[in-house]
Amino acid sequence: MKRWRRSLAFALALSVAGALASPAARAQDAPDDEAQEAEDEAPPPVQQQKGRRKVIPARADVGGKDRRATAADAKGAPSEKDRGKAEPPVEERAARGVAIIERGGQVLGLGAVLAGDGRILTALSPLGAGNDLTARLADGTTVRVKLGHHDRAWDLALLVPQTGKWADGLTASSRDPVRPDAQIRSFSAARGKVAAVPLVLRSHRTLIGGDDRQLEEAIELGSRISPLDLGAPIIDEDGRVVAILGRGCAPNEGKPCTPVAFGAPISAIRGFLRTVPPTAVQPAAWLGIQGVSEASQVAKGVRVTVVHPESPADEARLKGGDRAGSDMILAVDGVPVTTPEALADAIRTHAVGEKVPLTLLSGGKYRQVTVLLRAAPDPKAAATKKPEAEPPPPSSSGKATEEYRK
């Protein structure tokens, strides 16, 4: 009996051991890639230990720490999409503020758009009589420009666009461009495109300018300049203007002076801009209405009393007259206006040739119209007519040239 009990206990032990060992055996017989896949995808195994469930940590992942670090780095690094939107180089940004000066499609020279102003600083000598000029901007559009101010000695000119206002311009630099470590560039135009080119500056020296005047502290160049690049800005490492390319004459003792290109320094540019007349500004945008402040039960605005014939307001079919049949202007391009002065200020922030939306209230209904702004008519011709709601443009040559004037 004892032998029979020992045999039965031994048989039961073998069967239990086989049942526990069979999953491990099957796992050992499985292909390595399936085992690895199961190990990667399955949750941590659970082991029975003295009646408790114990979580066993998964096998350490070789290189897992490095992969986690890489993921963290990737999280902080810019994506492919963000890298595609990286800020362009300094010279490319500066090129947005360079205009090509033309007459009848023929390139005359280049110019620098004043930041926040829209007027163009260039060289006088390539312009000839200064009539029938256009400026080709960075997006390829052309605008008619007029000569607003000039200085024959320093060969400087200020061109005033007659329509639009180009937003991308250049500012003045306060750094000395003639230094050993300077990285100076200018611009050249080819096939209607402007590109930055390296430029060597030798020193400050005295040259002869227009009307045989001496130019103190003119910048002598060590690079050859194409006549079609006169008027181009010379920029420093930050893309700020240090000079404008002009044409002068280098004195030779006992001999006629030699024509040379030179850089008109910021000191000369500041002096030039201080003398710009108040009339050398872009034409003020004109709407063409008379109005009064009005407050209804639902809104406040400027009620139109008179619409000037053949004005932008007339073309947009604004209605004037009595309270019952006239339009009330509530906003200009989303900016609320409640007085004729506020309306005039809102219109003046836009340029001639710009399309501007107006929000109106008429007959208890809201509507929106778009007006194409034009320059105001000749003041002499309009002297006998009633004044417009918009006061005349301020007699100022603008604040944007302060960077150069300081």
Q: Which of 229-233, 331-335, 378-382 has the lowest mean pLDDT?
A: 378-382
Confidence of residue 80 (pLDDT cuts 50, 70, 90): low
The answer to which of 59-63, 257-261, 340-344 has the lowest mean pLDDT is 59-63
User: Of the given ranges (42-56, 293-307, 326-340, 364-378), which has the lowest mean pLDDT?
Assistant: 42-56
Report the pLDDT value the prediction gives residue 87, as an integer from 0 to 100. 78
Confidence label for 403 from pLDDT (cuts 50, 70 and 90): low
- Give the percent of the chain with pLDDT over 70: 72
Question: What pLDDT was estimated at residue 242?
Answer: 97
Residue 67 is predicted with a pLDDT of 43
The pLDDT, as a whole number, for residue 29 is 44
- Which string of DSSP letters, residue by residue, matches 361-383? EETTEEEEEEEE-EEPPPTTTTT
Mean pLDDT of the region 175-202: 93
Question: For the residues 161-165, what does the mean pLDDT come to?
Answer: 91
First-to-last C-alpha distance (Å) of the chain = 118
What is the reported pLDDT for 348? 87
Measured over the CA atoms of residue 232, residue 136, residue 150 and residue 404, the dihedral's sign is: negative
> Which two structure tokens, joined as six digits, stand for 327?
């339009």
Please say if the pLDDT value at position 357 is more than 70. Answer: yes
Q: Is the pLDDT of residue 75 over 80?
A: no
Amino acid at 302: V
Q: Classify residue 121 by burial, with Cβ atoms within 10 Å: 0-12, 13-18, 19+.
A: buried
* pLDDT tens column, 233-275: 999 999 999 999 999 999 988 888 999 999 999 999 999 999 9
193 against 87, higher pLDDT? 193
> How many Cβ atoms from other residues are within 10 Å of residue 176's Cβ?
13
Q: CA–CA separation, 282 vs 80, rounded Å?
A: 43
pLDDT at res. 377: 85
Q: Which has more pLDDT, 406 or 282?
A: 282
DSSP string, 231-282: TPEEE-TTS-EEEEEEEEEEEETTEEEEEEEEEEEHHHHHHHHHT--TT-SP
- Alpha carbons within 13 angstroms on the beta-carbon side of residue 292 total 10
Q: How would residue 296 be classed by pLDDT, with cut points 50, 70 and 90?
A: confident
pLDDT score, position 97: 97
pLDDT for 381 equals 54
> What is the mean pLDDT of the segment spanning 153-166?
95
What is the percent of the chain with per-residue pLDDT over 90, rounded to a whole number? Answer: 62
Report, as an integer, the average pLDDT of 134-148.
95
pLDDT for position 79: 55
pLDDT at 406 > cutoff 50 = yes
pLDDT above 70: residue 14 = no
pLDDT of residue 229: 97
